[in-house]
Structures are given as structure tokens and as C-alpha cells.
Amino acid sequence: MSLSRHAQSFAKRLAYRLGFSLKRLRPVHAAPSVADDFTDRIRPLLHAVDPYESFDWQSFPDDPSGWGSDSPAFRELVAKTRPARIIEVGTWKGGSALTLAAAAADLGLEVEIICVDTWLGALEMWTDPADPERYGALALKHGYPTLYYQFLANVCRAGRQAAITPFPVPSVTAAQWFALHGIRADLIYIDGSHEEEDVLQDLVSYWDLVRPGGVIFGDDWSWDGVRLAVQQFAADRQLAITHRHDKWELTKP
């Protein structure tokens, strides 16, 4: 690493500690206005063939490991919003989606959870090839991640195929697709990246997709990029940030 890159890295860390951001990588555009509110199930629009059909999930281990996926905040937010639709941005192995699905089932709710993810891994998953938890979980075959199949296996093993629908595209593409079809959600979980620019982009892209009275939330408040993005987004829109266990939360007026 060059001296200039060392200096840039140090300056960025220092700015973060002081509560400032140094850069914005790309312009942030809001999702198109959602004119309608699509209430049917989304899976038939995305998948001509059920994504779980004929999938040999028993050939994969029982491995729903993740971070914060068993938080009581999930059940509390499901009880608060009583959602018919949940959008999760960033799914990994599906731990949090399974917790949300179980919470909805316990309350007798019929919910569709759309999991938006490329299943290619965030930045920190690729930084250390010796890390078995992050890099290893990508399960590379010929250099390409196969984590998506572990996610499918976890959903099948839990018996939650009817509730959880995968949408394997980048988060902004998914947000544009939802807006195009007039699709909104009662609960949106943002957990796709820890980079400030990515988190801010997702907040802007998905805020218009939250139904009035609904909630957009996430975790990883201790990550500088996440915290700064949420604080900037909330300040720009004069929204109050609340905290529920390990999650931050914004409620749509």
C-alpha cells in the first residue's frame, strides 16, 4: 500500500471518529414514486418455476449461522407492524429471514418475505481468504460463490419455503423493480453492506417502498459507515432514530 493510501485510510478513520464523512462515491437517487400498492404474492412475478422445486437441500449441512439473526427485535417488530410483506436487503444464509418467518407464524400472520441479495458477499467477506467464517462461507466453486444454495437449504430445512422468496439481484435493481410494480412493504430490513455509500443508497432507494406506519430498520450501529448513513438520512428527512435491542429503527409517518 502506498503512503498516500495509508494517509487516506488514516484520514477516513479519523473523520469517522469525529462524526464526518469524507466522500460520496456516486449520486443517490430515490426510487420512482410508488403509485399503487400491490397486494398479491410476488413470487409468481419473479419465478416462473418455484425456486425450491426439486432442490436437493439434504445434501447441504444445517448451517444458518449469521450475526444478530436471533435478536428479539425481529419478533417485536413483527408484532408491532403485523406485516403482510417484509423485504430483507441482505440475507446471507437466511438466519434473520427464518426468525421473521417464525415470528409471523407464531402470530398467525400470512407473510411473504422477499430476500434481496446477490449472495456474492459484501466487501468484508472477500478481504481475508484465511477467514473460514466469512470468506469460507462463500463456498467458492471455480472462483464463484455458491452461498445461495446454502440459503435455499436452510429455508427448506426449516420448512419456510412458502413464506420466503429469494430475489437474487443487486439491491438498487430490486428497489426499482418493486417501484415499477407498485410494491410496498410493512417492514424493510437493511443489512446488505457496512459501507456508508451503500447503506445510504439502500435507505434512499427503499424508503418510498415502506407503507405509512411501517418500519425500515437494521443493525451494525457500531460500524461507522452504517451509523453515519442512517444519521444523515434521518437528519435530511427530520426522522427520529430509535433503538430496539441491537437494531436501529425508522418509522414511516
| CATH for 201 | 3.40.50.150
Per the structure, the count of domains in the chain is 1
The tally of CA atoms less than 13 A away on the side-chain side of residue 153 is: 15
Q: Output the pLDDT for position 83.
A: 98
Check pLDDT > 80 for residue 248: yes
pTM of the model: 0.87
Q: Which three cell numbers stand for residue 182?
A: 407498485
- Check: CB of residue 225 under 8 Å from CB of residue 51: no
Q: Is residue 3 part of a domain?
A: no
First to last CA, the chain: 47
For residue 107, being part of any structural domain is answered with yes
Asked, for residue 146, whether it belongs to a domain, the answer is no
Q: Is residue 34 in a domain? A: no
Domain-embedded: residue 203: yes
User: How many whole angstroms from its chain centre is CA 86?
Assistant: 11
Asked if residue 32 belongs to a domain, the reply is no
Write out pLDDT tens, residues 197-222: 999 999 999 999 999 999 999 999 99
pLDDT of residue 2: 42
State how far the Cα of 107 lies from the Cα of 198, in Å rounded to an integer: 33
In a domain? residue 193: yes
Residue with cell 427520529: 240
CB 78 within 8 A of CB 179: no
pLDDT > 70 in the chain, percent:
88
**How far apart are the C-alpha atoms of 231 and 237, rounded to whole Å?**
10
Task: State mean pLDDT over 100-118.
Answer: 97
- Residue 57 counted as domain residue: no
Q: Which residue range forms the structural domain that includes residue 240?
A: 40-49+67-119+163-251
Q: What are the percentages of helix, strand and coil residues in the chain, rounded to 5?
A: 40, 15, 45
Q: Which of 39-53, 123-137, 172-186 has the lowest mean pLDDT?
A: 123-137
List the Cα angle 55/60/65 in 5-degree steps: 115
Beta bridge mates, 218: 190, 248
Identify the H or E element spanning 247: strand 247-251
